Amino acid sequence: MYVSLHSFFALRINRPECKNEIFAILHVCQPSLIFALQMMIVTSHCKAIMMNEPSQMISRSPEDTYNLGRKIGESLKPGAVIALTGELGSGKTAFVQGLARGLGVPTEYYITSPTYTLVNEYPGRCPLFHADLYRLERTADIEEIGLYDIIRKGEGVAAVEWAERLDKETLSAAIRIRFEILDEESRRVVIEK
């Protein structure tokens, strides 16, 4: 069944008009196959993520969330801003860990949420600037840590947790990714430009 479904999706994956047909079949598949197919969609639509149509998928584990970040990271270029929102424990940091690997950050760098350092910089094919705005309340605080300068220079990818604290102008140019907790392991991930 996997081969025939794989062929079915492979023929339709690059045709946006087939999106509803693809998702209508997903509910009958096993969760691991569903995620694999969703990753095919993400892979083929990484550039399409930059389109204006929201995309959503269900991550069934932290590993799924990590792999989603890795796939998206593989397609990003310097200057991209990833605005991450979602409550504590929803998967933002797991996503950034995968994003870092997709951007070529060496594995000897352990990616942690910069809750107290506020911004961490990691080298890679494309440098990653990982910011956590959880503890900041004012726009002036964000300016003081240099995040707006990092974004303006566009020398790497900026991944910003608690991005709802950014100004609207910065958010308008960002890829917005929202994490919603469904249960202990599962998350709905909504991606929009």
What CATH number does residue 160 fall under? 3.40.50.300
98 and 161 in a common domain:
yes
> Does 96 score more than 90 pLDDT?
yes
Residue 98 in tokens: 């995968």
136 and 108 in a common domain:
yes
Q: Which of 152, 150, 79 is nearest to 121 (CA)?
A: 150
The whole-chain average pLDDT of the chain stands at 77
Strand ranges in 127-186 using DSSP code E only, listed in sequence order:
128-132, 157-161, 175-181
138 and 114 in a common domain:
yes
SS3 percent helix, strand, coil of the chain, rounded to 5, is: 45, 20, 35
Q: Is the pTM of this model over 0.75?
A: no
Q: Which of 62, 72, 89 is nearest to 159 (CA)?
A: 72
61 and 12 in a common domain:
no
Q: Which of 26, 163, 27, 28 is nearest to 90 (CA)?
A: 163
156 and 106 in a common domain:
yes
How far from the centroid of its chain's Cα atoms is residue 87's Cα? 15
Report which listed range, 39-43, 119-123, 165-169, is most confident.
119-123
Q: What pLDDT digit, counting tens, does each position of 99-113 carry?
A: 999 999 999 998 888
124 and 38 in a common domain:
no
- Domain ranges, residue 160: 52-192
59 and 40 in a common domain:
no
Q: What percent of the chain has pLDDT over 70?
A: 68
Confidence of residue 193 (pLDDT cuts 50, 70, 90): confident
162 and 90 in a common domain:
yes
Residue whose structure tokens are 């707006």: 148
108 and 162 in a common domain:
yes
CA distance 87 to 106: 28
57 and 140 in a common domain:
yes
70 and 165 in a common domain:
yes
103 and 19 in a common domain:
no
> What order do you get walking across the sheet with 187-192 strand by strand?
55-59, 187-192, 175-181, 81-85, 157-161, 128-132, 119-122
> Does 29 score more than 80 pLDDT?
no
Looking at the structure of the chain, the number of domains it has is: 2
